[in-house]
Structure 1
């Protein structure tokens, strides 16, 4: 996957992933549940994937025009651009994040 077709790489502000997150920020605030976690590469907002009831990562992108997310799931290093519908890997984004288990799998 190549980032060459993505026109939003200039939105990347987060290049070092956090050591740990508590879960989807929106689900934690509302008592919701998530399946997989994604981080906004512009502001660091942690939201849940589209297989989660709240679809908070997509909702955040729509509300803010922040187009790039990265998976926080163990073993996954892909980035997704919502506007260009493009998946890619960006090796300049480093670190691994400890995440809690999904409440949907409990």
Structure 2
């Protein structure tokens, strides 16, 4: 089973979220379906089900590998590099 190779490089404590919603969606007047939090820098972006897919775009631009759900009651993390739950 493939494992994430990036968890050990995550900052501790977790970064403070830079916003409470996706700033690109807010600027465009669209609504994110669900939010993701970058565990490297605190960027908040919308998921791939949202029209903008800003969380994935943040990964592509920054190279920050792991985001976690930013939804209440959820705690999973996704590694974009290894394509696994981290």
TM above 0.5, yes or no, is yes
The structure having more radius of gyration, on CA atoms, is: 1
Residue in 2 aligned with 1:41?
39
* Unaligned runs of at least 5 residues, structure 2: none
Alignment root-mean-square deviation, CA = 2.3
Q: Offset at 1:72?
A: 1.0
CA deviations on 1:8-38 (whole Å, 9 max, x unpaired) are 124422634648x431122123322201010
Residue 67 of structure 2 aligns to a residue in which SS?
Answer: strand
Residue in 2 aligned with 1:103?
none
| Equivalent pairs, count | 85
Structure 2 vs 1, CA of residues 83 and 12 (structure 1 numbering), >3 Å: closer, same or farther?
same
TM (normalized to structure 2)? Answer: 0.83
Structure 2 vs 1, CA of residues 26 and 84 (structure 1 numbering), >3 Å: closer, same or farther?
same
Residue in 2 aligned with 1:23?
21
CA contact (8 A) 1:8 1:68 kept: yes
Q: Please, which of 60, 64, 73 is the counterpart of residue 58 of structure 2?
A: 60
Residue 53 of structure 1 aligns to a residue in which SS?
Answer: coil
Of residues 28-37 and 47-56 in structure 1, the stretch that sits farther from structure 2 once superposed is 28-37
